[in-house]
Amino acid sequence: MMLLSIENIEDTLRSKFCKQVVDKGINDAAKFLQRWLYLSSQVTRLHGAALARISIPDIQYLLAEIAYGECGSGNKDKIHSKLLTNLINKSPFSCFINQGLDRYFIQLFEETVLELSQMSQDEAIGFIVGLEAPAYQILQLLRQALVDVDISEIDVIMSDYFVIHDAVEKEHQESGHQAMEIIMDSGFDLSKIRKGGDQAINFLIKMVGDA
């Protein structure tokens, strides 16, 4: 039996996402971007709902830091969903991508915020771990989808959105899972972290899995 550690929880969650989303590939890049843009514009509500469940100040700090980064780290012109919108607007299909999303996805998101706000602390932190686990794979999918809606590869790579996220990704790898160490040191129940993480991956799969 494999010992439960935070790293193998992350790996398991990541490979589930890969099997259900990455390996299948994206059929409709515009649909994928429409849903991801919506999620991007709402994602800090998930951080906020999780934060509301956390009583440990070091973990509150971690969640607030993630949310602050998404909100532009003090520069409201750099709000990540705004940067993504700027990039998407270079596509001839931007009208379709920016248009309102199917009710199903809006409801799914609202239900998820509610569920998260009622989770135990350990599950809530697990949900955020799960949300972050496939970050690199999602960036790759996004890059491909943006090229597929006829944005030049140079425009994608040189965009503020990708410059910022590539830097964040490197930082993540270099910091050697500092966040995970804090989580480990806080004595969380790993099976509950795993449970919360599964809920996040299931949410992501429902959100973008069949795009």
Q: Which residues bind Fe ion (CB under 5 A)?
A: 80
Nearest-approach distance from CB 118 to Fe ion, in angstroms: 26
Nearest-approach distance from CB 80 to Fe ion, in angstroms: 4
Output the six-digit token pair for 156.
């994608």
Q: For residues 16 and 165, which CB has a smaller minimum distance to Fe ion in the complex?
A: 165
Nearest-approach distance from CB 2 to Fe ion, in angstroms: 31
∠ CA 62-37-179, rounded to 5° = 15
Distances in whole angstroms, Cα of residue 151 to Cα of each of 24, 157, 190:
22, 10, 42
CA separation for the pair 134, 117 (Å, rounded) = 22
Single-letter amino acid, residue 21: V
∠ CA 143-161-145, rounded to 5° = 20
Nearest-approach distance from CB 4 to Fe ion, in angstroms: 29
What length is written for the chain? 211
Q: For residues 53 and 80, which CB has a smaller minimum distance to Fe ion in the complex?
A: 80
CA separation for the pair 6, 4 (Å, rounded) = 7
CA separation for the pair 87, 200 (Å, rounded) = 26
Q: For residues 83 and 124, which CB has a smaller minimum distance to Fe ion in the complex?
A: 83
End-to-end CA distance of the chain: 35
∠ CA 85-126-145, rounded to 5° = 30
Nearest-approach distance from CB 3 to Fe ion, in angstroms: 32
Residue least distant from Fe ion (Cβ): 80
Nearest-approach distance from CB 165 to Fe ion, in angstroms: 6
